[in-house]
Structure 1
Amino acid sequence: MPQDPVFSLQLAMRGAFWGVSKTLVNQGVRIAVFIVLARLLGPADFGLVALALTLTILADFLIVEGGWTQALVRRDTVAQTHYDSVFWLVLSVSVLVAGGMAIGARYHAALFDTPQIAQLALWLLALYPLAALRTVPRAILIRRFDFRAIALSSNAGAIAGGMAGIALAFGGAGVWALVANQLVSRLFMTAGLVWHAGWRPGFQVSRAGLSGLRDFVPNALLAQLSKFADFYMIRVFIGSRAGAEAVGHYTLSVDLRGLLRSLLINPAGQAVLPSVRELRGDLPRLRNALGIGLTLLTSVACPAAIGFCLVAGDLVPLALGAQWMPAIPLVQMMALAIPAMAIMRVNMGAQYAFGKAGTVARLALTSTALLGTLLVVLPVTTAAGAVAILLCRSYVMLPLHLRQLRRTTGFTLQAAGRSVLPNLLAALVMAATVLLAQYTILADVLPLWRLIASVVIGAAAFGVALPIAAPATVREIRAAWRSLRHKSTAAQSGDI
């Protein structure tokens, strides 16, 4: 039964903020595990697993984000036959693709003259059926706006995978500790989603159960295959020119950006599709909601991304050791892409909600073509150069995403600017303040104390600058907080 648009927006905000609080636990565990493993192992170990994961990460692109979940979420009504038909189709696809990757693993490893990559990849192929098992339960939970269950399942996976990885690393298992971390984490997360969703697969499989997929999933799959080409291209490029250790440094920068994205973008981003689905019949209210969402999202993403870039020079060697210092410029450039990624995530969720998976596919293909062109044309031979290309591409693609968002919803570039630019201005004031402090009063301070002082000074500066540069943001934050407090009981009893 459709919900009142205002109530749906409140549910989305509640889900996003609840997701943030639970994600803090999840990412806290992941950060702690990552620090321990990074100190026990080296960049080369992380690089080997990253190269093996280039074959298995297709499970995430093809199955988890391949449009199956989104297609179920965007339907107005869903029956058991829809769930069963999608489940068995996705499971079959996952087994077939995993088999193909098993055949290709030896040839992939030959690109780097490292047979161990094939051995690692064969174990990691179990990620394919695990991803398939999560597809329908995740769709059910998103339709309920039950991001609490999704977060708890992810937390369980992070804890279990971390314990397994650390235990094996202390036992001298080396690179296999990272493999165990991946497998155990996904296994427990999958079990949690299945249990919380309360759904079990049946055999009500029919062609009618796949209705609505034909015009949606192929385009979504095309977009994800383009992203996989992105993923594969950049790692092979770095690995073939600079070796596994450079891939390890690049992997660190990607993982840290992933942590920021999980904290800053994903909790709100996962609420975009179901909330836009509810509001798409009322475009003025939808545009207002998009403005509020971008305001709140960038009020966190802009200062966090810029601030992380400013402290990375002290944070990386203190947390991970001197062996990871070559990764610092990569980490900084990756962090600066976060604000653009946040805005583009909102657009992709809106496009999916309106059934425009073809638009998402075209944007992804354009992005991949741009990356390939830049890697070929520019004289880049280092990991830092490749990451600089990735950063530039993010901001080249941003206007195209905003243009598509305007075409679909009428949300104009001027409205996006009013939502984002004041927050960016406050973040730049924060950055100037921190840099001034680092080069004057903190210049001769020990790295740990300089790190702590930079965080405190940055938080204070942003806290002062935000009400001045972006008073509308402060009003929206207060309104969101009041809504969460006053509507929590109603949201808990909502039946989506």
Structure 2
Amino acid sequence: MSDSISLRRRAASALLWSSIQSWGGRVVSLLVFVLLARLLNPADFGLASSAFLIMTLLNLVAEFGCSDAIVQRRDLRPADVNLPFYVAMTISTTLATSMVIFAPQIASLMEVPGLTPYLRGAAMITPFMTFTSFQEFMYRRALMFRQLAVRTILGTIVGGIVGVGMAFAGFGTWSLICQFAAQTIVGAIWVWHAPVWKPSLELHPKSAMEIGAFGSRVVTKFVVDFATGKSVDFIILVVYGAAALGLFTVASRLYLLLLQLLSTSISSVVLSMLAKISDDLERVRRLYIRSTSICTSFGTPVFVGLAAIAPEVNHLMFGEKWAGADRVMIPLLLIGGIHCTQSINGAYLTAVGRPQTLLNVTIVKALVVLPPLYFIRFDSVAATADFYALCLLAITPIDFFVTLRGLKLDWKAVVRPLGIPFLACIAGFALSLAVRNEVSSLPDNTILRAIIMGSSFVLGYVLTYAIVGWNLAKDNLLFAQSLVKKDR
């Protein structure tokens, strides 16, 4: 069996289990989130989201970009991971301790009354996240996505039971903090009870420096990306308060969930595959064209279709308590349709040895997004979300231009694979808007309206795709079917 066929079969299996990990865990997570949204109020979500913002930043700094460096390093020895692991755990523990000590000052800076205990609770989770992540890196490197899928689903179920139970008991914000804590601890126990890698006292400073040098560029990119992506959260928190942040958190949940579902399952596998073929630029190019076309054909319409029925989705999922969240959902879901494809560009730039280029793009993104958000204020959360989506859209051409240049790929090679699905999505969305205006006089039946709007989008998308890009649709479907058959 050739290396190419073997890699394809392993990739198919990894893609299947990576998808199960993402879809299974995220679907359960969404069900839990919906239950919690119906049990808790916007202020509860706002306080928890404020604490999680700081916790996520601490974990990004502690991991120091080691995930990509470890997964993609071609000649990695088990002992090479020891020193980065010990350093990361030391940093994570130190940062968590500092957050516990200085929680009152942080809460005061964020101008959120009552945040201090939740900051301390979230800080205590951070070392467990770092402890788990290194073992997860090694699982991913070995393409052991089945074990990670089981871990994710089990942790989500246990965390959900804890969170919903505490919400019923009236614990408010602590329900969300403890839900995440339980999920993280279960995940740590699962990956460490059958470790792919075990830390030892054998240290390799030279390889650790190489991993650290690579990781420093990656972590800088992550931190800048975090600042760019989460800046809107901070602005909403400061300008409108914790309850408004809670509204934005619930409204953006579907966007973030879908982005993780549809892009992470593919990008995780792509990253692992690229480690095997990164020295063959032609294969990397072919993989890029195919993977971006798959994302745009199957992922983008999910985002855009849900944007078309956002009012109905919001009412059915979260209820009257969260009225108005649909106005925030729409721009986020629409930009998510582009990010679904755009999100895997970074993996390819990293694979061809261009992490500095990736960092430069991220810095440009921050320069385009952050100043307008901080200096231009609006009178509502929805208007802020609209402007945020427009700022992100402005970065898209730059991101694709730099990626194509890094791959030495002519832009004409991706016009058809990406342009046809995008055109079909626009047609479907336009048709659903036209139908919405026509059925405005129908009885106020949310489910019926969702079915009509959703069917209109699907009809417009499928017809346009079939008329304009029938051969492309067949190629993508045949490719997906071949992966499944090869895996069997």
1:493 alignment counterpart: none
1:312 alignment counterpart: 310
- Alpha-carbon distance in structure 2 between the residues aligned to 1:231 and 1:402: 18
Q: Of 121, 141, 144, which aligns to 1:143? A: 141
Q: Of 330, 342, 367, which aligns to 1:369? A: 367
Alignment of 1:399 with 2:397, yes or no, is yes
Cα separation, partners in 2 of 1:155 and 1:244, compared to 1, 3 Å: same
Alignment of 1:332 with 2:330, yes or no, is yes
2:85 alignment counterpart: 87
Would the aligned equivalents of 2:18 and 2:269 in 1 still touch at CA under 8 Å?
no
Question: How many angstroms does 1:166 deviate by?
Answer: 0.3
Question: How many angstroms does 1:429 deviate by?
Answer: 2.3
Question: How many angstroms does 1:180 deviate by?
Answer: 0.9
Cα separation, partners in 2 of 1:95 and 1:163, compared to 1, 3 Å: same
Q: Of 158, 161, 167, which aligns to 2:159? A: 161
- Alpha-carbon distance in structure 2 between the residues aligned to 1:178 and 1:86: 31
- Alpha-carbon distance in structure 1 between the residues aligned to 2:379 and 2:386: 12
1:378 alignment counterpart: 376
Alignment of 1:127 with 2:125, yes or no, is yes
Would the aligned equivalents of 2:432 and 2:457 in 1 still touch at CA under 8 Å?
yes
2:464 alignment counterpart: 465
For the residue of structure 2 that corresponds to 1:116, the secondary structure is: coil
Amino acid at match of 1:326: G
What do the CA deviations read for 1:378-398 (whole angstroms, capped 9, x no partner)? 243432233223211222111
Alignment of 1:302 with 2:290, yes or no, is no
1:27 alignment counterpart: 26
Cα separation, partners in 2 of 1:427 and 1:120, compared to 1, 3 Å: same
Amino acid at match of 1:448: I
For the residue of structure 1 that corresponds to 2:323, the secondary structure is: helix
For the residue of structure 2 that corresponds to 1:77, the secondary structure is: coil
Q: Of 424, 432, 435, which aligns to 2:433? A: 435
- Alpha-carbon distance in structure 2 between the residues aligned to 1:286 and 1:198: 28
Amino acid at match of 1:406: L
Would the aligned equivalents of 1:90 and 1:132 in 2 still touch at CA under 8 Å?
yes
Cα separation, partners in 2 of 1:36 and 1:334, compared to 1, 3 Å: same
Aligned residues: CA RMSD: 2.2
> Greater CA deviation, 222-231 or 249-258?
222-231
- Alpha-carbon distance in structure 2 between the residues aligned to 1:483 and 1:196: 32
- Alpha-carbon distance in structure 1 between the residues aligned to 2:414 and 2:368: 24
Alignment of 1:8-407 (within 5 A): 8-63=7-62, 66-195=64-193, 197-230=195-228, 233-407=231-405
Question: How many angstroms does 1:135 deviate by?
Answer: 2.6
Would the aligned equivalents of 1:296 and 1:473 in 2 still touch at CA under 8 Å?
no
Amino acid at match of 1:277: A
What do the CA deviations read for 1:359-403 (whole angstroms, capped 9, x no partner)? 222222222222221124424343223322321122211122112
Amino acid at match of 1:434: S
Amino acid at match of 1:468: I
Amino acid at match of 1:28: V
Question: How many angstroms does 1:63 deviate by?
Answer: 4.3
- Alpha-carbon distance in structure 2 between the residues aligned to 1:386 and 1:6: 49
Cα separation, partners in 2 of 1:338 and 1:139, compared to 1, 3 Å: same
- Alpha-carbon distance in structure 2 between the residues aligned to 1:255 and 1:58: 19
Would the aligned equivalents of 1:130 and 1:187 in 2 still touch at CA under 8 Å?
yes
> Greater CA deviation, 20-29 or 284-293?
20-29
Question: How many angstroms does 1:451 deviate by?
Answer: 1.2
Q: Provide structure 1 residue ranges, at least 5 long, that are not aligned to the other structure.
A: 490-496
> Greater CA deviation, 97-106 or 279-288?
97-106
1:494 alignment counterpart: none
What do the CA deviations read for 1:259-295 (whole angstroms, capped 9, x no partner)? 1112211100112222222222222222111111111
Would the aligned equivalents of 1:55 and 1:105 in 2 still touch at CA under 8 Å?
no
Would the aligned equivalents of 2:107 and 2:113 in 1 still touch at CA under 8 Å?
yes
Cα separation, partners in 2 of 1:348 and 1:370, compared to 1, 3 Å: same
- Alpha-carbon distance in structure 2 between the residues aligned to 1:241 and 1:196: 47
- Alpha-carbon distance in structure 2 between the residues aligned to 1:311 and 1:450: 8
For the residue of structure 2 that corresponds to 1:35, the secondary structure is: helix
2:452 alignment counterpart: 453
1:479 alignment counterpart: 478
What do the CA deviations read for 1:275-321 (whole angstroms, capped 9, x no partner)? 22222222222211111111111112221111111111111122212
* Moved beyond 4 Å, runs of 4+: none
Question: How many angstroms does 1:322 deviate by?
Answer: 1.3
Question: How many angstroms does 1:126 deviate by?
Answer: 2.2
Question: How many angstroms does 1:9 deviate by?
Answer: 4.3
Question: How many angstroms does 1:197 deviate by?
Answer: 4.1
Question: How many angstroms does 1:475 deviate by?
Answer: 2.5
- Alpha-carbon distance in structure 1 between the residues aligned to 2:30 and 2:460: 26
Cα separation, partners in 2 of 1:59 and 1:146, compared to 1, 3 Å: farther
With the length of structure 1 as denominator, give the TM-score of the two structures: 0.92
What do the CA deviations read for 1:404-426 (whole angstroms, capped 9, x no partner)? 21222123322232221100112
What do the CA deviations read for 1:466-489 (whole angstroms, capped 9, x no partner)? 332322432233332342243225
Question: How many angstroms does 1:431 deviate by?
Answer: 1.8
For the residue of structure 2 that corresponds to 1:216, the secondary structure is: helix
Question: How many angstroms does 1:442 deviate by?
Answer: 6.6
Would the aligned equivalents of 2:288 and 2:348 in 1 still touch at CA under 8 Å?
no
Would the aligned equivalents of 1:292 and 1:476 in 2 still touch at CA under 8 Å?
no
Amino acid at match of 1:124: A
Would the aligned equivalents of 2:300 and 2:340 in 1 still touch at CA under 8 Å?
no
Question: How many angstroms does 1:326 deviate by?
Answer: 1.9
- Alpha-carbon distance in structure 2 between the residues aligned to 1:301 and 1:487: 22
- Alpha-carbon distance in structure 2 between the residues aligned to 1:373 and 1:76: 40
With the length of structure 2 as denominator, give the TM-score of the two structures: 0.93
The percentage of counterpart residues that share the same residue type is 21
For the residue of structure 1 that corresponds to 2:115, the secondary structure is: helix
